[in-house]
Structure 1
Amino acid sequence: MPLHWLGLVAAVWLQSINGTNSNFPAYSSELKRILSISQLQLNNLAFASDAGKLLGWVSGVAAARLPLWLVLLIGSALGAAGYGVQFLFLTGRIHSLSYWQVFSLTVVAGNSICWINTVSYILAIRNFPLDRQIAVGISTSYVGLSAKIYTTVVEVAAASPSAPLERAKAFLLLNAALPLLVCVAAAPLTGYADVGKSRRLVAGFVTLFVITAVTGGFAVITSLIPRVLSPPAILIGLVVFLVLPLVTPAAEEIGEAVQQKCLIVVHDEESLKRGGLAGKDGEGSRNDGIGEEIPPLLMLRRAEFWLYFLVYLFGATLGLVYLNNLGQIAESRGSFGISSLVSLASAFSFFGRLLPSLLDYFFSKSTYTMSTSIAMGLMTAPMSGAFFLLVISKQDFALYTSSAIVGICSGAVTSISISATRELFGTINFGVNHNILVSNIPIGSFLFGDFAALLYKNGRVDGEENCVGNRCYQTTLLIWGCLCVLGSLLALVLHVKTKKLRGHK
């Protein structure tokens, strides 16, 4: 049995429970009430979760020196501590926590996400050296399922799921316990590897594509159509869909047996040599990017990194900031379907993360292969159109359309960036390098989020508690649209610059 597939199954499970930061709105109001803090302080707590990514590079250093199962357990333990102490505070078992103690716990909890992400990325890259984009895209798409999983479990398990305090307790307990349990279950699967496989893994990936697409469809339908199924039935369905990837190794084995029997297997030795493969790739002798393995300190001195940093900042990070502010944007425009709007954006983000993998898999034999820089630029460009559409149109249709576009494009850029980091700076230091890149998420969240809040505050009419009307976010959306245009242009510059560097090798 091709056991290396179990590593990808582990990555799928890990990503599906690694969106704990998306649950913050579910208990933020209770924290605000109990801590007696202002709205600005509450916004800073939301930033604290992203701020944990500033230390994400530590998980990359650990992954280069420790077994993956240990890295996984450290990450889940950090999350259990960060969320667990807050749970004990809400339940009264800890009687006193200051605002800054809660802030620090939130940073620790946010940092735990980086550890689990690092293990997931390494599993996909190590086990599928010629199908990295496919494996990474499939696994990371499951992050979009996290909010659905946590919400459904709370609706089923919480004693009074409609009571704010009970929901807050349930989400914090789940955030602390579920990742720990899944990481313990997935830890034994991190040891399976078989880097000698070529791009002949047809049956396994087709099976996983189908399972992933159906899982996403199930999540979308049960989110957008109220009461189509009861919460317990939805939870059972999600568990079944998460167990189904375990059939992938058997599907690949059957597919290989059928191919051999029909004598249609062709071993293309020349393409295998061009792919550079296996242990060589993981050890740095192969690089289909600039042409060398680049350590973190040297990367920070490269102009290519800062171009890449800004492309991500004005693409995926800006999309994340928009989605974080989606509720307030919808409310200011007079839209009351906020829950369905968030579900729509989350669903399209799920498929956006999967899209690059589908394109890479089915068009991998094309004579022209697109660079990751160009791909990121092409996916950032539609986001500018989405923001401009919201500026010129007051209709709910524009809000739903723009949210879908931002969801799918930001999800796609997030997925592509994992391959881009490897393409630009190599695989040996990937864990550290990519975590340094995503440090732009808290930076962008703080800068773009606080700037939007300032403009929102200035847009209020005297005496109003909340800003109402398109003017509240009109200037913000216009600026965001222009930044997306700039991000697309910078992606083109990055492509030209790296193309020249390749030509000099």
Structure 2
Amino acid sequence: MEWDLRNSRWIALAASCWIMVLNSSIYTFSGYSQAMKIAMALDQKTLTAITTFSGVGSALGIIPGLLYALVPPWLLLAAGAAGQSVALLMIWLTITHRIHGAAVWQLCLYELLIGISQASVQTPVVLASARNFGRDTGAVLGLVKGYHVLGGSIFLQAFYAISGGGGSGDGLPLMLSWMIPLMLPLALAARPLSRTVGSPPVPYGGMYGMSGSLVALAAWLLVVSVLEVFMRFTRGTQVIVCSIIVLLLLLLAVIALEQLISRRGVLDRKVAGSAREALLDHDEKEPAGRTEALLETGATKDHETGRTSPPPRLGDDHTLAQVATSVDFWLLFVALVFGFGAANAVPTNLTQLAISLGYSQKIGSVFVSLFCVSSCFARIAAGLAADYCLKRFGTPKSTFLALGMASNSIGTALAAVPVPGAAIFAAVLGAASDGANWGLTAAIACEMFGERRLGVVFNALLVGNPVGHYLLSSRVVGYFYDREAGRESVCHGGHCFRRGFAALSAASAIGACLCWIVAARTKTRSWQ
């Protein structure tokens, strides 16, 4: 029996998850930031300014979104991998003094290149996953983005195993620069596949299996992060840790193959001979990378009367002009400015919040790890729940975005009081919002505006992330913290973040209300 591995959407999904793990260099800045600070004699304010440029680069993801319709997906992915590798290599050469006379603006440029290169890889992977699994975009993209957020921790554990403990971290950019190109062979599998009219719905056994492997990986990384706070791992222990991580990653291939074998068995029972081959190869004649053209159903203009036809229905492919003039798009964008910005402000200030409440620096790092793992869980749970409720009850996916933002509003309000365990509430409930934001934004964009221009719409919505983060974290939380600290560099007490986190709570509540409005409008039009 032959299996067409290259045309299996499950193999494509496994490859996409591995690519997103390798595409997570943007989450590793903390691993080499101290080495950069010492080598370049930087103060904390300058170091913080440098790291914001990776966020600016991610916000420029609209550029690869536009290019996706013009160039093959593998070319975008290759360009992103090359850009990250070159930028990280230049950072390593700089902080190890192999390049002399480097300026701060050059480090900012390297981080900017890392951000936009990361978006260049993410765009074709997200769009291919959305294309291959149709209406199950919530669960699939939640899974893919879940592996993305864990990639930084995986890279750090690999570096600890290679370096025997991590050292100063100056070798981390070099390791990343040669590991990231490993995603290039995976691009052959992680590509958009043609869907036939009679293609079956997604079997949730496979989706639950892959989600379970992600949960196991996240739990293992959390356990390791906690143990590293209280004990020092030997090189042998680090190798064991990494071996378990690799096995959990390879479990994706096992699940994908099992789904492929199961699918082929179903086909063998339902179709025979040439009919089965025709079903499997039905769309092979379509040019690769151009199957999106089959979905174009946007409004057209009547050249005789000069009038424009009615706007496309919910879920139909919209033109960029239709998206830009859509009330729903701008409601969603403003909601993400408030909700996304407030959620991302939590991990940025979580360690300082823990210290102000009397915890040590090490315990503060555990809270940050708890936030990352909880965000991973939220991405999976939000995606699965959104897909299930959409099919079962017709509930718009933006409803779960509103619930996530509402949870962050509660968590930051509890931290502003603060109640006992405020840092834990802020970490877990803030992560619920962060996970829903990252896991559902692309799925909601696809649900509302169609697949054809999803790359541009998705990346345009993500611009709200750095905008909101800068305004709420730097200009609001940072301002109130400095006022409470006075002349001291560190503030202690429950009053330190009271006003700042109260502002985050209000911002999250505004974002949740806007998402509820989008959900109500979507629900109304979905039954027309």
Using the size of structure 2 for normalisation, the TM-score is: 0.84
Question: What does 1:417-496 correspond to in 2, within 5 Å?
Answer: 417-451=441-475, 452-462=477-487, 464-496=488-520
Give the aligned partner of residue 275 of structure 2: none
**Runs of 5+ in structure 2 lacking a partner?**
271-289, 299-310
AA at the equivalent of 1:453: G
Measured in 2, the distance between the counterparts of 1:402 and 1:199 equals: 38
Give the aligned partner of residue 27 of structure 1: 32
Give the aligned partner of residue 412 of structure 2: 387
Residue 284 in structure 1 maps to residue 308 in structure 2: no
Question: What does 1:132-151 correspond to in 2, within 5 Å?
Answer: 132-151=137-156
- Say which SS state the counterpart of residue 97 (structure 2) adopts: coil
Question: What does 1:18-97 correspond to in 2, within 5 Å?
Answer: 18-97=23-102
- Give the superposition deviation at 1:61: 1.7
1:104 corresponds to which of 98, 109, 112: 109
Measured in 2, the distance between the counterparts of 1:102 and 1:388 equals: 37
- Give the superposition deviation at 1:35: 2.8
- When the two chains are superposed, the root-mean-square deviation of aligned CA atoms in Å is 2.6
CA distance 1:438–1:362, shift in 2 (3 Å):
closer
**Runs of 5+ in structure 1 lacking a partner?**
264-277
Give the aligned partner of residue 235 of structure 1: 242
* Stretch moving more, 368-377 or 32-41: 32-41
- Give the share of equivalent positions with the same residue, in percent: 21
Give the aligned partner of residue 117 of structure 1: 122
2:135 corresponds to which of 114, 130, 133: 130
Measured in 2, the distance between the counterparts of 1:404 and 1:43 equals: 24
Using the size of structure 1 for normalisation, the TM-score is: 0.88
CA distance 1:206–1:492, shift in 2 (3 Å):
closer
Measured in 2, the distance between the counterparts of 1:140 and 1:293 equals: 24
Measured in 2, the distance between the counterparts of 1:308 and 1:86 equals: 36
Give the aligned partner of residue 220 of structure 1: 222
AA at the equivalent of 1:422: C
Q: Confirm or deny: 8 A CA contact 2:131 2:451 kept in the other structure.
A: no
Give the aligned partner of residue 206 of structure 2: 204
Give the aligned partner of residue 190 of structure 1: 190
- Give the superposition deviation at 1:381: 0.6
CA distance 1:171–1:295, shift in 2 (3 Å):
farther
Give the aligned partner of residue 275 of structure 1: none
Q: Confirm or deny: 8 A CA contact 1:313 1:444 kept in the other structure.
A: yes
* Stretch moving more, 440-449 or 35-44: 35-44
Give the aligned partner of residue 272 of structure 1: none
Superposed CA offset, 1:16-57 (max 9, x none): 232222222222233233333333222211211100023211
Q: Confirm or deny: 8 A CA contact 2:55 2:115 kept in the other structure.
A: yes
Give the aligned partner of residue 181 of structure 2: 180
- Give the superposition deviation at 1:388: 0.8
Q: Confirm or deny: 8 A CA contact 1:418 1:434 kept in the other structure.
A: yes
- Give the superposition deviation at 1:109: 0.8
Measured in 1, the distance between the counterparts of 2:388 and 2:42 equals: 52
Superposed CA offset, 1:168-199 (max 9, x none): x2222233232222x21312213472423321
Give the aligned partner of residue 332 of structure 2: 308
Give the number of equivalent residue pairs: 482
Give the aligned partner of residue 246 of structure 1: 253
AA at the equivalent of 1:379: G
Give the aligned partner of residue 305 of structure 2: none
Q: Confirm or deny: 8 A CA contact 1:79 1:108 kept in the other structure.
A: yes
- Give the superposition deviation at 1:351: 0.6
CA distance 1:253–1:109, shift in 2 (3 Å):
closer
- Say which SS state the counterpart of residue 512 (structure 2) adopts: helix
- Give the superposition deviation at 1:426: 1.5
AA at the equivalent of 1:178: M
- Give the superposition deviation at 1:457: 1.6
